[in-house]
Amino acid sequence: MGKIDEAIKDLRYLLDRGYRKTIALKFVADHYLLSKKERNYLSRHVFSRRKIKERKSKIIKLKNIKNKKLLIDGYNVLITVENIIRNSKDIFIAQDGFLRDCSAVFGKHKISTTTYKALKAIITTLKKYQPKYVVFYLDKNVSFSGELAKRIRACMSKHKVNGEVILSNKVDYILKKEGKKGNVVATSDSVIIDNVKQVVDIPKEILKCSNTLLS
């Protein structure tokens, strides 16, 4: 068993016994001399059994968003789908069932040809499952978020997906607030998941159907 596997085992042990994650993570990561990327991976991958059960109970299948309002954590979903397209080794299925990445590029995101492919895959997926209304939330503090918003609007219009794109510096707050009301939220952000009632994992669906959606 390698040091990462040992670290996962030890962190899970501490979390199951009620230790705060920040303290447990630092203790384990320091003990195994983990790199920043390895620490980031552990943070996004390992959770207590109680937390895993709670989060999995909130996951709904994409077929269940038909005729419902869907709120999308824009950069969270987009960056993960971009990593799927790149065949990145940074993506993984975490213990709570969500597809995540440990690339840590949020805030430094750059629009590229991969971005356009990712948007097409996301919008095509939305069209397939027919939500009533879609709202993409983008952090307006990220460079070129305004340009990205234009691209998303154009893609939604082209594929006849009803919705809008909102730029905000309070994306997490809005998603948690609206999610508590019962609106479905698309994200893999742990803090948001813990504060909403229903969640969908769009990147995971795209990965599952990657041969069709990304061709």
pLDDT in tens, 75-116: 999 999 999 999 988 899 999 999 999 876 666 788 999 999
Residue type, 14: L
Write down the pTM of the prediction.
0.93
Domain annotation covers residue 149: yes
In terms of domains, do 107 and 141 share one? yes
pLDDT tens for residues 27-46? 999 999 999 999 999 999 99
Domain annotation covers residue 51: no
H/E stretch holding 175: helix 171-180
Distance between CA atoms of 16 and 13, rounded to whole angstroms? 5
DSSP secondary-structure letter at 142?
A: S
In terms of domains, do 206 and 111 share one? yes
In terms of domains, do 112 and 19 share one? no
Q: Given its phi and psi angles, is residue 94 left (phi above 0), alpha (psi -120 to 50 degrees) or beta? A: beta
pLDDT category at 51 given cuts 50, 70, 90 is very high
In terms of domains, do 17 and 105 share one? no
Is the CB of residue 4 less than 8 Å from the CB of residue 55?
no
Domain annotation covers residue 55: no
In terms of domains, do 88 and 20 share one? no
Q: What total number of domains does the chain contain? A: 2
In terms of domains, do 130 and 200 share one? yes
Structural domain including 36 reads 3-46
In terms of domains, do 24 and 75 share one? no
In terms of domains, do 82 and 138 share one? yes
**Average pLDDT score over the chain:** 94
Is the CB of residue 93 less than 8 Å from the CB of residue 74?
no
Domain annotation covers residue 56: no
Domain annotation covers residue 180: yes
In terms of domains, do 15 and 101 share one? no
